Structure 1
Amino acid sequence: MGRGQFLLLGVAVAGAGALALVHARHREAPLVDDALAPVAAASLPSTSPPATSMPTSRGSTLSGALGDRIAQARWIAVGAGAWPEATQVQIEQDVGLAREVLGERGVVLFAAGADAAVVQVQRPGGERDPLGSALADLFAPRGGRNAEYRAPNIPVDAPATAAHVLDALDLATSRSGDPLLVFVAGHGDVGAQARANTVALWAGSDVTPEQVASVLEDARRPVRLVVTTCFSGGFAELVFDDADEASGPSPQLHCGLFAAPWDLEAAGCDPNPERAEQEGYAMHFLEALRGRGRDGEPLTLDVLDYDHDGVIGLLDAHTRVRIASTAADVPTTTSERWLRRHAPSGGPLAHVDLPEEDAVIEALLRRVGLDGRGAAEARLAEAALAIDAASTAVEQAQLDEDAAFRAAAGELLARWPVLDDPWHPEFATVYRHDREEIARTLAASSAYAQYLRARERAAAAQLALTDHEVTAAPLERLVRAYETRELAGRLAAAGGAAFERFEGLRACERARP
């Protein structure tokens, strides 16, 4: 079942009263050099070694003056890819903006550290060997070949490995104090269930919601998470004990705001350093916190203060993303996750003041040119059909590309068996001695020409799918806002501890950073 079919199911179920939007796990296509345009998100396929979850090592990797600073920190900002090819400059820029906006008493954990030249920056029109490029794109397509690497331009306190991140969380929550804000930018991947989702960190390491829950088990101050990665909504499972819905509510109240639900991607990993060309949750969110729009233009308080409390809080900034983002993101929160677990599927409604949902509904109805929930659900159903058809087209185009690759690769390897392995001891000799004949063979090969056409069709199909997802995103946000408002009303009518926890989560999310 494709994402479009899941959306159709969600809209149908919502109309019946259960109000559950469910999303498929669409994965982004691998990057090649020609596709170094904005990367749709943080589940970046890689030819590098796989990430592996690391166990929590309480307080063992950070000590001395840095450890003391972390223990007293107001905020921690984390940014990384698993390897250089996934450490795009936008991640660095977002972490730098977080540092600027959040102010004093913060700590930055980034990639391989302050001096490591691992930040990927797209370079304009770099010179490449045409034959080498053709062989690389045929046998080993990957991002980063049209990019250069440099050290971070932002102050960095330590590398962003899984061990460092978990130890920093442990140190920073080991003393009583004001809430700790943790900002995370980078890539994520989806697990078999939400608590098994991961955020990719340096050197192929990663962390899961379950690991974070384990570290926060003994936390002596509340934690507010802001995670901008793909599948970041998996960290909303922190509302449950051990990040496990079956274990009941967490004994402590931590909250979070996320760029996407547990099973959807998010934008925000672009190697293009031009901020005007980028899109992503962090840009809208962080600029809103300091009273600005995505491009840094000043906005008045009445535009951003959605709960009318006189300040711009975390949930205000999150609401701004939901309204203003042009990406395919569908942001979510811990309070939304709590509602979808505890709100009755039917029964009476009580009034709940949710000005953020009201603002999203008003703004997005105007943006998509609709006049109510029914029209939004109908339009979303249409978008779901288009996404499903586009997903099918992508799958077929990728199958066609795979078949064309096998024909073209087989033709070349039948004559030059080592061409697909540049590390083979004979490769350099073969490439140097036979390069003109290899180039002539490629130029005359109908199989290779068919492969190039198939690759172009696959790229076009992926772009078409992305366009449909971007079109659907404001509709999904809109329907989700209606859903949240109704579920909150049902939970309020039921009352009790579950509604009190919802109000506590919402208050946590509304706080200033």
Structure 2
Amino acid sequence: MIKRYQNIIICLLSLSLIGLLEKSSSGEYTFKQSFKGWFLNLIQGETEEPQKPLIKTSLISNLFQTASPKSTEPCEPKSTEPNFLIIGGGGSPESNEIALEKNILYFQRTLKNMGFNTPSTSIFFANGNEGNPSIRYINPQGQQKFKIPNIPNLNGSATVDNLINWIDKNKNNQSANKPIFFYFTGHGILNHENADNNAFMLWNNTPVTVSNFSRTLDQLPQDSHIVAMMAQCFSGSFANFIYQNGDPNKPLAKQTRCGFFATIKTLPSVGCTPEVNEADYEDYSSSFFAGLSGVNRIGQKVASADYNKDGRVSYSEAHAFAKVDEETSDLPVSTSETWLQQKASKKDVDELVDIPIIELQKNARPEQKYVIASLVKLLQFNPQKSSLENLESLTPDQVVTQEQKAYKIRLLMELLNVKMEAKVRQNNNQQDINILDGLIKCELSSWK
């Protein structure tokens, strides 16, 4: 029993669960807050910083170090080729790293790799076509420099006015009922008072909150089909754009909306770097579009993400690919996953961590099975055992980096997604089932 608790302590600390233990009067360590409660707080948006426990060993002290990240039933669209809306860049030259420009260039290459010759694409980036140096990069000599944006077919700057003008232009131009794919690559802001209403930053340091973004989209026809992929810090908050006014306490928006986000609403993401070499980029955008197209950002082919073998790669499958491929501290989520996770209770998590992984995997969809199997293999877990049993057996060298810790949390999140979907269906609440089916169906759509 003592060894069991020692292993749990190592596990908890390795996952940066600061403050889960306190010292009792007898000198033994007891749980201050259970692992299960911590995990629930993480995925549902607990932002309060817990206090550090009174533990002094060098091993545990090292594990405490938190490294900063590397730099209703939907209307079926008549055409699957979307109108593409791409917005990117920092709010000022100082925060407008070259990786953001390169993300858009990779997006354009991805369109070509997938056979889009003349797609309906609008691109708004930073200061646009003004001709002023606004992109920060590091030259071969290690010096910080600034350059002019060089993006083919750039439509203008990343401003609120251009976003609203695009909406105005397209709200009466839906005769073909084309879906919309929105991609944002830039910076995000955490709303400390309400993490359900974070913001992304446009040029001139102009924030656009979840509620503002959702209300702007409301101007489009009610039969619009909108998919978002957002890679900024604290981006998981934008999963709330599926609700009226972006408010999770209100009903779903009339339109079909779904999305994919680099990380949960309370954590920063990676990918904003002034470094020039794309071979070093390991962000969510890179992995998502590699999974979607089959070609990574340096032109190499990657393993097919067509996990259900239907001849196409859906957004959900690209998202699954990224959960395994992206070697960062990000915790990627989708709208359906966020919706499911918010329904989880402590009892659900209590049950989750004690069920053998292989039993949970039986209820998974193909893309979920891929994630679970891949992460189990990567983490060298025993699928016949429960999550908690596997975590208890961790050794210190398995929990050194933030990436190692993130992969373990990604696996727990995936298992929870599977368990909560099964629970929703077993509860037989038709309204909830309709919402879930609508989100999943939207997420399973694709560019082609």
1:469 aligned residue? 402
Q: Name 2:163's counterpart in structure 1.
A: 165
Gaps of 5+ in 1: 28-37, 43-71, 127-145, 387-464
Asked if the contact 1:335/1:506 (under 8 Å) is kept, the reply is yes
Cα offsets for 1:191-224 (capped at 9, x unmatched) = 1223321111111112111011111223221211
Q: 1:381 to 1:151 in 2, by over 3 A?
A: farther
Query: After superposition, what is the alpha-carbon deviation per residue over 1:355-409, rounded to whole angstroms, capped at 9, x for unaligned?
Result: 22111110000001111386544666899x99xxxxxxxxxxxxxxxxxxxxxxx
Q: How does 1:93-492 map to 2 (within 5 A)?
A: 93-102=102-111, 103=116, 104-114=119-129, 115-125=131-141, 146-155=143-152, 156-176=154-174, 177-191=177-191, 192-220=193-221, 221-293=224-296, 295-300=298-303, 303-342=304-343, 354-372=365-383, 376-377=387-388, 468-492=401-425
Q: How far does residue 283 in structure 1 lie from its aligned partner after superposition?
A: 0.9
Contact 2:160–2:202 (CA under 8 A) maintained in structure 1: yes
Cα separation, 2, equivalents of 1:381 and 1:241 = 43
Instruction: Find out whether 1:505 has 2:439 as its counterpart.
Output: yes
Aligned partners of 2:307 and 2:370 also within 8 Å: yes
The aligned counterpart of 2:69 is: 40
3-state SS of paired residue (1:158) = coil
SS of 2:228's partner is strand
Structure of larger gyration radius: 1
Amino acid at match of 2:109: E
Q: Distance in 1 between matches of 2:411 and 2:68?
A: 25
Measured after TM superposition, the shift of residue 24 of structure 1 is 5.9
Whether the aligned pair in 2 keeps the contact of 1:190 and 1:263 (CA below 8 Å) is yes
Deviation at 1:186, TM superposition (A): 0.9
Give the equivalent residue in structure 2 for 1:413: none
Report the Cα distance in structure 2 between the residues aligned to 1:311 and 1:472, rounded to whole angstroms: 32
CA contact (8 A) 1:373 1:482 kept: no
Q: 1:215/1:174 Cα in 2 relative to 1: closer, same or farther (>3 Å)?
A: farther
1:122–1:148: 8 Å Cα contact kept in structure 2?
A: yes
Deviation at 1:307, TM superposition (A): 2.7
Q: Distance in 2 between matches of 1:170 and 1:183?
A: 18
Quick one: which amino acid aligns to residue 5 of structure 1?
L
Q: C-alpha separation between the residues in 2 aligned to 1:359 and 1:171?
A: 40
Deviations 1:39-61 (CA, angstroms, capped at 9, x unpaired) = 8379xxxxxxxxxxxxxxxxxxx
Unaligned runs of 5+ in 2: 1-12, 21-32, 50-66, 72-80, 352-359
Distance in 2 between residues matched to 1:215 and 1:123, nearest whole Å: 39
Deviations 1:243-287 (A, max 9, x none): 112113323320000000111111111111101122201111112
- By how many angstroms is 1:151 displaced? 0.9
Distance in 1 (alpha carbons) for counterparts of 2:92 and 2:141: 23
Contact 2:200 2:209 in 1 (8 A): yes
Report whether the alignment pairs 1:5 with 2:8: no
Q: CA deviation at 1:340?
A: 2.5
Does the residue aligned with 1:329 lie in a helix, a strand or coil?
A: coil
Give 3-state SS (helix, strand or coil) of 2:227's partner: strand
Report if the CA contact (8 A) 1:343-1:491 is conserved: no
Taking structure 1 as reference, are residues 481 and 359 closer, same or farther at Cα in structure 2, changes over 3 Å only? same
| Counterpart residue type for residue 109 of structure 1 | F
Aligned to 2:24: none
Q: Deviation at 1:100?
A: 2.6
- Give the alignment of 1:51-90 within 5 angstroms: 74-90=83-99
- How many residue pairs are counted as aligned between the two chains? 372
Question: How much does 1:351 deviate?
Answer: 7.9
**What amino acid is aligned across from residue 96 of structure 1 in structure 2?**
L
Letter in 2 for 1:98: F
State the TM-score, normalizing by the size of structure 2.
0.74
Matched-pair contact (CA < 8 Å) for 1:228–1:258: yes
- In structure 2, how many angstroms separate the alpha carbons of the residues matched to 1:233 and 1:298? 29
Deviation of 1:233 after TM superposition, in Å, equals 0.6
Q: Deviations over 1:141-200 (max 9, x none)?
A: xxxxx3111111212111001332244245334443121000000111111223321111
Deviation at 1:288, TM superposition (A): 2.0
Compared CA separation, residues 494 and 209, structure 1 to 2 (3 A): same
More helix by share: 1
